[in-house]
Amino acid sequence: MNVIPLAADSLGVRSMATYVECGQTRILIDPGAVLAPNRFGLPPADEEWEALRRANDRISAYASRAGVIFLSHYHEDHFRHDPGLYQGRTVWAKDARRMINPRQAQRAADLWKSIGGVCRLDSAEGRVLETAEARLSASPPLAHGAEGTALGYVVALTVTDLREGKRFRCPGPALRGCRRLPDPRAA
């Protein structure tokens, strides 16, 4: 299994865009990238705009290799409005009508309308796809942060390489029922 981070805060943009490859099974996860419009009272610097351009170029290049595109939720740093990015691919996306806050619901409706005719689009929750090399399993909706937060819900994707037995999960929200370790700073 090859896991390639394409864009992230540490790479200069807000994003979690990731490409995962298990033989011929190729998945692009959360193919969005944005800049914060106003950090510390300042607009983005020229270097940040350049980092965004590079990130979007990387995402586009890997999208052309992917057979599956996965959208965990509808914050702008996790998807793109460009129908060409999704064309001819299988797209698993967070359900546009269930367990979603109003702002994300509007973004989701707009995206589903714009890409529905160019790809094989389906709700991700609970889906499983198994190929000769990999198993893709989408979770039910998980809270995006503390339960009841206004941030809404996300769907996580677990990719299991059936040849190597390795697993990758993105995004990685805390799972219900899992014990959180105490924050050492809170003592």
Q: 42 falls in which pLDDT band (50, 70, 90)?
A: confident
**Spatial strand order in the sheet of 68-71:** 2-5, 18-22, 25-29, 68-71, 90-93, 120-123
Give domain 2-173's CATH number out of 3.40.50.1370, 3.40.50.2300, 3.60.15.10, 3.30.930.10. 3.60.15.10
Q: Over range 32-53, report the average pLDDT.
A: 89
29-33, 38-42, 142-146, 147-151: range with lowest mean pLDDT = 147-151
Q: Give the tens place of pLDDT for each residue, 77-127.
A: 899 999 999 999 999 999 998 888 888 899 999 999 999 999 999 999 999
pLDDT of the residue at 10: 79
**182 or 4, greater pLDDT:** 4
pLDDT of the residue at 187: 41
27 in Cβ contact with 159 (< 8 Å): yes
**Alpha-carbon gap, residue 30 to 171, rounded angstroms:** 9
Beta strands at 25-29 and 120-123: parallel, antiparallel or unpaired? unpaired
Q: Give the tens place of pLDDT for each residue, 131-183.
A: 999 999 999 988 777 676 667 789 999 999 999 989 898 865 443 333 333 33
In sequence order, what are the residues at sequence separation of 6 or more whose Cβ sits closer than 8 angstroms to the Cβ of residue 49?
35
What six digits make up the tokens of 43?
A: 């607009």
pLDDT of the residue at 155: 93
- pLDDT reading at 49 higher than 60: yes
Please confirm whether the linkage preceding 102 is cis (ω < 30° from 0): no
pLDDT of the residue at 182: 39
pLDDT of the residue at 145: 72
Q: Give the tens place of pLDDT for each residue, 62-78.
A: 999 999 999 999 888 89
DSSP type of residue 39: B
